[in-house]
Structure 1
């Protein structure tokens, strides 16, 4: 078929959920995609057909201006869908694919990258060997941040407010998937929470917005705490004393004078830059790329370190 000199940039957005995230639609448009089309309730069985429908209709020039985004809420399913889309390509009919379910890949990347930076700057230490407690760790951001921290050698404990069985189930799932070692713990009672905090050096709060996981009284039990990082931007704060704007600010009420906090807007600023840059990389890179949470983490580390 004849090639047009200028074809629009089209992004096809797949999600297994009933709606695509408006946040991601906005981000795609701001990154230069001119036509953004959401496809909802997309299961694994539909990915290959949808991908091949997208790649065979535009010719080589058009396919270079086409991308696929994978959203949803299930971080494992999104990773599987990314792999299926990659396998469905028939070069030279090949497009870039970016997965970021619930923003979990880019948010977790920003969270871990900022913790890593402040750990080096303020405490002259690495994540390797550090004891990390992830409150609300069974959700999307908790799972991905656990995988990232554990891959750097941290001793990661995933906490569930519901039960130890739930935390262990999630821990076992990500251990098998990513060949890492994490463990699970219950934090539903004050005694359980305080016991988990007593050994933690770094705490992530990754539960749903508007849920406080750690009060000022709880904070006193974290006697080894170096960094507390909270992704919740909706009051009340997920960790008492960590303001949304904090980016390495001393943590009031901590048992250690050198403990610091990292708040949701500091994390969100890096997350926003990561997602924007990955969308732009898809559109302008010149060759197809496949972007999941390892690529998001690489981008976040570059931004956090000032090397991007």
Structure 2
């Protein structure tokens, strides 16, 4: 009898996301086991319980997934799990807290693709403003864009102090340069996007962060992307299905990318990474860098 494929899913929250459980089952895992209220200190013990109980052959059919809502904590948990394993007891690992890693990866990959298609540019040297930049998707999107060479500004509606704290904490953790910028009032938001090449709207669902009038003042804008699928749209004039559609306001040639266009790439990215864990011949460690690489492949395939 062949051993079943088992995915152990650790979250510091009260419950594991049903979305992620469904994704794991659809990727081929036969047993999907969630563990709630898992702190960083518990990761070593849980990881070693996972690996030593199956033997060298069983670990090839075993994986660990890390969820939660904290993008930085998930990265710490992923590293702790990786460092807790002993050869030959090595299993595949993946982190995607609240879908933040795969969503951020998909968002930035879509923006990069639109920049190349419509403007002949990459992210290197572009000024990127992340509205709702202190949340998990906003922080990781900022890190990915910064790693690709962009000048990234994380915005917070709670003001410059909160934005700066999030930017510096995230920058230190991931070894990039990030800047904080205030989104505390309409004037601050307009000032922040006035010279932006790219705007990423990562605020809470149902919150509009840029009105049509605000967008009209973004005279350098090339691409605006929104992950909000709940009305009203996060950026006025960017529909959920838009994928490189010209914007009704803002700089000439600016295009918009909507939540479902990003979501399609996000879904494919998460699915393919989970399948890689199930079907791969070697154990892998999958964080947002690997998610971005996969999202880039998907966007390039769509363009080709």
- The two structures have a TM-score, normalised by structure 1, of 0.96
Deviation at 1:60, TM superposition (A): 2.2
Distance in 2 of aligned mates of 1:281 and 1:207:
31
Deviation at 1:255, TM superposition (A): 2.9
Equivalent position of 1:161 in the other structure: 157
Q: Determine which of 276, 279, 283 is the counterpart of 2:274.
A: 279
Q: The residue matched to 1:199 in structure 2 has which SS?
A: coil
Equivalent position of 1:57 in the other structure: 53
Q: The residue matched to 1:37 in structure 2 has which SS?
A: strand
Distance in 2 of aligned mates of 1:43 and 1:255:
45
Equivalent position of 1:295 in the other structure: 290
Structure 2: gaps of 5 or more residues: none
Distance in 2 of aligned mates of 1:177 and 1:60:
33
Q: Deviations over 1:238-292 (max 9, x none)?
A: 000000000000111x232211000000000000001001101111111111100
Equivalent position of 1:239 in the other structure: 235
Structure 1: gaps of 5 or more residues: none
Distance in 2 of aligned mates of 1:128 and 1:243:
27
Taking only aligned residues, the RMSD between alpha carbons, in angstroms, comes to 1.1
Q: The residue matched to 2:64 in structure 1 has which SS?
A: strand
Distance in 1 of aligned mates of 2:173 and 2:42:
23
Farther-moved stretch of structure 1 (271-280 vs 194-203): 194-203
Distance in 2 of aligned mates of 1:84 and 1:156:
28
Q: Deviations over 1:79-112 (max 9, x none)?
A: 1111111111111111101000110000000000
Deviation at 1:204, TM superposition (A): 0.2
Equivalent position of 1:144 in the other structure: 140
* Residue 270, structure 1, aligned to residue 265, structure 2: yes
1:88-127 correspondence to structure 2 within 5 Å: 88-127=84-123
**4+ long deviations beyond 3 Å:** none
Deviation at 1:61, TM superposition (A): 2.2
Equivalent position of 1:206 in the other structure: 202
Equivalent position of 1:30 in the other structure: 26
Q: Deviations over 1:213-245 (max 9, x none)?
A: 111111111111111100111111100000000
Q: Determine which of 132, 135, 152 is the counterpart of 2:131.
A: 135
Equivalent position of 1:75 in the other structure: 71
Distance in 2 of aligned mates of 1:187 and 1:87:
39
Equivalent position of 2:12 in the other structure: 16
How many residues matched?
A: 303
Farther-moved stretch of structure 1 (178-187 vs 293-302): 178-187
Q: Contact conserved, 2:216 with 2:251, CA < 8 A, in 1?
A: no
Deviation at 1:124, TM superposition (A): 0.5
Distance in 1 of aligned mates of 2:250 and 2:266:
30
Distance in 1 of aligned mates of 2:80 and 2:255:
42
Equivalent position of 1:230 in the other structure: 226
Deviation at 1:180, TM superposition (A): 1.5
